[in-house]
Amino acid sequence: MRRDRVNAEWALAEVTRELRERLAAADSAAMREREADIADVAREIAAHLSGGARPAPSDLPRGSILVADELSPVDAARLDPRRVCALALERGGPTSHASIIARSFGLPAVVGIAGLCDLVSPERPIVVDGDAGVVDPQPSREGLRRSLERVREARERARRQRGRATRAAATRDGVRIALRANLELPEEIPALERFRA
């Protein structure tokens, strides 16, 4: 920076531009998805450099379904899984930060639904079925009832599986396996106990 006589913001913008160009031209879809992540992280760094960091998102009511165009890595990391129960995004893919964080929190998520934001209303319930990859923006009463029943059944299955997780992990022939976790956020720690990692 001193040699080129540029400020930190300009240097950040140049490096970000170069990285985004490389990622956008990548053969791998997963790598191309990282291009938007780089841009978002660069915006966050630039905001800190200029003293105008983005405020944390406002608290959502418990049981909220977050519907958005996309969710940046920074905003995905700020999700509160005690308040958000599902994600539905117009953009993103299975390897996007939002998808990865949703999986780590055990949240149903469906991404890549063009035009979704125009179909939902804050006053109406919606159904997000992460297993089927479907969002129903205007479910019938019967559709809501069936969805709630599937949620209850899934919770019961998870409870039974947690009960089995009290035993040590081992293969059928008795070889013990150490189960470890790769965590990025403090909110992921409860999963350690759930899965005995």
Burial environment of residue 124 by CB neighbours within 10 A (0 to 12, 13 to 18, 19 or more): exposed
To which residue do tokens 């490389």 refer? Answer: 22
Residue that wins the pLDDT comparison between 57 and 185 = 185
Check: CATH 3.50.30.10 for 64-164?
Answer: yes
For residue 60, pLDDT beyond 70: yes
pLDDT band at 173 (very low <50, low <70, confident <90, very high): very high
Residue with tokens 């319930």: 125
Instruction: Return the domain boundaries, the chain.
Output: 8-49, 64-164
Chain segment 8-54, per-residue pLDDT in tens: 888 888 888 998 888 888 888 878 878 877 887 888 788 778 776 55
pTM of the model: 0.65
pLDDT at 128: 94
- Pair of tokens at residue 125: 């319930």
